[in-house]
Chain A
Amino acid sequence: DAGVIQSPRHEVTEMGQEVTLRCKPISGHDYLFWYRQTMMRGLELLIYFNNNVPIDDSGMPEDRFSAKMPNASFSTLKIQPSEPRDSAVYFCASSFLGGELKKLFFGSGTQLSVL
């Protein structure tokens, strides 16, 4: 099992540029989450999907952020235009809502640096 796959692992870009982060969840999982982690704010939930449908995007910081899940095996998080304060590690995670246990499987994360 390949686990949750994120790309790229590292992204360095200049302020104002568009950034696209990609995620492939574990096959068969029906939930997908995007989190952002910084030293100051910890792990923040940005948005999550259930069966490819966005359920809660209240954590998306502002209109510069958008996320899509066109099918069960792929999701993107886009920042346009990027700003230095967007620098963080962005994690994608997937899970299967079965029974009472919801275990999250995280990807390795994308380290984003906006200069």
Chain B
Amino acid sequence: RKEVEQDPGPFNVPEGATVAFNCTYSNSASQSFFWYRQDCRKEPKLLMSVYSSGNEDGRFTAQLNRASQYISLLIRDSKLSDSATYLCVVSGNTGKLIFGQGTTLQVKP
């Protein structure tokens, strides 16, 4: 079983739609959680951290469920520019960050 698992998609949605991505992790001792975004042929970049209480950044909302070892990312009012691959990232207390395979989002006009 992979340490971090994501549905690879692709998710094809129209502009303005709401879309949600899920991620599960296997190590219950994991401490830090992130969502990264990767555009085609580019390096990954941090989108947002994920906090236990849930957090929001504009149209993006991240949630963490430690009991179920589950992380989610919700994107509201999708834009064409949101098309990318979204990577779930999990870290323990050693500094080691493990990436999921990524979920591809394609927003259509």
Question: Which of A's residues lie within 8 Å of B, judged by CB?
Answer: 31, 33, 35, 42-43, 45, 48, 50, 55-56, 91, 95, 97, 100-104, 106-109
> In chain A, what residue has the closest Cβ to B51?
A100
- Contact residue among B32, B43, B98, B101 (Cβ-Cβ distance under 8 Å from A109): B43
Determine how close the nearest CB of chain B comes to the CB of A69; give it in whole angstroms: 14
Q: Mark B23-55, 1 if CB is under 8 A from A, else 0.
A: 000000001101010000011111001000000
Q: Verify A106–B44 contact, CB threshold 8 A.
A: yes
Q: Verify B95–A55 contact, CB threshold 8 A.
A: yes
**Band of interface residues on B:** 20 to 34
Question: Which of B's residues lie within 8 Å of A, judged by CB?
Answer: 31-32, 34, 36, 42-46, 49, 87, 89, 91, 94-102
Q: Verify A104–B46 contact, CB threshold 8 A.
A: yes
**Chain A residue contacts of B46, Cβ below 8 A:** 103-104
Q: Verify A43–B96 contact, CB threshold 8 A.
A: no
**Chain A residue contacts of B100, Cβ below 8 A:** 42
The main secondary structure of chain B at its interface with chain A is: strand
CA distance A61 to B43 in the complex (A): 22
Q: Verify A106–B43 contact, CB threshold 8 A.
A: yes
The main secondary structure of chain A at its interface with chain B is: strand
**Chain B residue contacts of A103, Cβ below 8 A:** 34, 46, 49
- Contact residue among B36, B43, B49, B95 (Cβ-Cβ distance under 8 Å from A108): B43
Instruction: Give 17 CB contacts A-B under 8 Å.
Output: A33-B97, A42-B99, A42-B100, A42-B102, A43-B44, A45-B96, A48-B96, A91-B43, A95-B95, A95-B97, A97-B95, A101-B49, A102-B97, A103-B46, A104-B36, A107-B43, A108-B43
> In chain B, what residue has the closest Cβ to A40?
B101
Determine how close the nearest CB of chain A comes to the CB of B89; give it in whole angstroms: 8
CA distance A108 to B96 in the complex (A): 20
CA distance A102 to B46 in the complex (A): 10
The 8 closest A-B pairs by CB, nearest first: A106-B43, A42-B101, A43-B99, A103-B46, A31-B95, A97-B95, A106-B44, A109-B43
